[in-house]
């Protein structure tokens, strides 16, 4: 999906498209989340969107996506792991080990995992399967979604205020972030081997 298409959808459907894209991005259906947030900031700077509703809809999309994934994990996850885990080498003992490790850092992962592609998608499922208390999950995921969406929107807004950015180049920002993330992991593995 191109930025022109997304901008057209935003023009047609308004803030609801921001909510839908972030919701689906969190539950695991591919969506350009960071690029979309950055683009939203640029569109705010170009007076195509308003700051308040943009923050509310994007934050709610991410947060409600987290809650939906948590509920799926809680009610469907463990039976799924028990039934199909053996096909991917995930025995009951191995799952118990993973669950115990996850529980030790669950709240940190829920809150700051938004910044790591892949982690933000699997973390709510793991939280549901690991039976993290819902109220705590609710609070930490609300905090995490807020501290994830606002900085990307503001980055897009202030960058567009400082230099002109054509919205059609915004997807390359997402690709750049992904490449930097992969480079970071590669360098970290190299350093840990020494």
Tell me the domain boundaries of the chain: 3-193
Judged against a pLDDT cut of 80, whether residue 166 lies above it is answered with no
Question: What does each C-alpha distance from 131 to 123, 128, 157, 175 come to in angstroms?
Answer: 12, 5, 38, 34
Report which DSSP code applies to 73.
I
Q: What is the rounded distance in angstroms from the CA atom of residue 158 to the CA atom of residue 147?
A: 17
Q: Are 28 and 43 in contact (CB under 8 A)?
A: no
pLDDT tens per residue, range 57-103: 999 999 999 999 999 988 887 777 777 666 777 777 777 777 778 78
* Residue 180 in tokens: 């930097």
| Short-list 99, 87, 104, 101, CA closest to 128 | 99
Question: How many other C-beta atoms are found inside a 10 Å radius of the C-beta of residue 182?
Answer: 11
3-class secondary-structure state, position 163: coil
Asked if 156 contacts 41 with a C-beta cutoff of 8 angstroms, the reply is yes
Angle at which helix 134-162 crosses helix 51-72, to 10 degrees, equals: 150
Of residues 32 and 40, which shows the higher confidence score? 40
Cα 182 from Cα 185, distance rounded (Å): 5
Q: What is the dihedral of CA 118, 119, 125, 131, to 10 degrees?
A: 170
pTM above 0.85, yes or no: no
pLDDT in tens, 44-65: 888 888 899 999 999 999 999 9
* Pair of tokens at residue 113: 């995992």
Integer distance in angstroms from the first to the last C-alpha of the chain? Answer: 42
- pLDDT attached to residue 133: 92
Instruction: Give residue-wise pLDDT tens across range 119-156.
Output: 888 889 889 988 899 999 999 999 999 999 999 999 98
SS3 of 47-60: the string is CCCCHHHHHHHHHH
């Amino acid at each position: 999906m191109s930025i022109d298409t997304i901008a057209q959808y935003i023009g047609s459907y308004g803030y609801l498209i921001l909510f839908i894209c972030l919701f689906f991005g969190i539950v695991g259906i591919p969506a350009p989340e960071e690029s979309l947030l950055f683009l939203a900031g640029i569109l705010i700077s170009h007076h195509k969107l308003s700051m308040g509703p943009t923050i509310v809809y994007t934050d709610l999309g991410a947060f409600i996506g987290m809650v939906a994934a948590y509920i799926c994990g809680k009610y469907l996850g463990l039976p799924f792991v028990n039934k199909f885990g053996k096909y991917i080498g995930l025995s009951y003992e191995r799952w118990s080990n993973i669950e115990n490790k996850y529980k030790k850092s669950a709240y940190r992962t829920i809150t700051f995992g938004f910044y790591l592609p892949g982690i933000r998608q699997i973390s709510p499922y793991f939280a549901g399967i690991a039976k993290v208390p819902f109220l705590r999950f609710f609070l930490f995921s609300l905090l995490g979604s807020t501290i994830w969406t606002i900085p990307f929107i503001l980055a897009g807004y202030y960058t567009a205020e400082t230099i002109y950015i054509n919205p059609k180049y915004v997807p390359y920002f997402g690709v750049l972030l992904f490449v930097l993330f992969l480079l970071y992991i590669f360098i970290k593995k190299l350093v840990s081997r020494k």
